[in-house]
Amino acid sequence: MLTFTLRRLLVAIPTLLFISLVIFLLVDLAPGSPLSDIPLTVPPDVRQRMIEALGADQPVFVRYVLWLRQFFWVEPAYLLDGWFGTNLANGEQRILSWQARSPVFTIIGERIPQTLIVIGTAYLVGVLIALPIGIYSAYRQYSAFDQFGTLFAMIGFSVPTFFSGTLFIIIFAVWLGWFPTKYDTQLEVTDWASFVEQLRQMALPVMTLGLANAAVISRYMRSSMLDNMTQDYVRTARAKGMTERTVVLKHVLRNSMIPVVTVIALGIPSIFGGAIITENLFGVNGIGAALIGAIHASDLPMVQTLAFIFAVLIVTFNLIADILYGLLDPRIRYD
14 belongs to a structural domain: no
11 belongs to a structural domain: no
CA angle 31–37–43, rounded 5-degree value: 125
pLDDT at 194: 81
pTM of the shown model: 0.73
Contact between 222 and 134 (Cβ < 8 Å): yes
pLDDT at 152: 84
Domain that holds residue 132: 105-297
281 belongs to a structural domain: yes
Closest CA to 274 of 154, 108, 99: 108
Selection from 23-37, 61-75, 82-96, 207-221 with the highest mean pLDDT: 207-221
89 belongs to a structural domain: no
Does residue 76 have a pLDDT over 50? no
Contact between 259 and 88 (Cβ < 8 Å): no
pLDDT at 1: 66
The tens digit of pLDDT for each residue in 141-195 reads 888 888 888 888 888 878 888 888 888 889 988 888 888 887 777 777 778 888 8
Does residue 277 have a pLDDT over 70? yes
Does residue 56 have a pLDDT over 80? no
User: Mean pLDDT lowest for which of 58-62, 90-94, 198-202?
Assistant: 90-94
Domain count, the chain: 1
pLDDT at 54: 63
How many angstroms separate the CA atoms of 86 and 96, rounded? 5
210 belongs to a structural domain: yes
Name every residue whose Cβ is closer than 8 Å to that of residue 140 and which is 6 or more positions away in sequence: 146
pLDDT at 36: 62
pLDDT confidence of 90, banded at 50, 70, 90? very low
What single-letter amino acid sits at 321? A
331 belongs to a structural domain: no
Closest CA to 146 of 159, 156, 134, 158: 134
CATH number at residue 118: 1.10.3720.10
Say how far residue 165 (Cα) sits from the centre of its chain. Answer: 19
CA angle 100–120–154, rounded 5-degree value: 115
pLDDT at 55: 64
User: What 3-state class would DSSP assign to 48?
Assistant: helix
276 belongs to a structural domain: yes
Does residue 87 have a pLDDT over 70? no
Average pLDDT taken over every residue of the chain: 77
How many angstroms separate the CA atoms of 127 and 132, rounded? 9
Does residue 89 have a pLDDT over 50? no
270 belongs to a structural domain: yes
Number of H helices, E strands in the chain: 15, 0
User: What 3-state class would DSSP assign to 103?
Assistant: strand
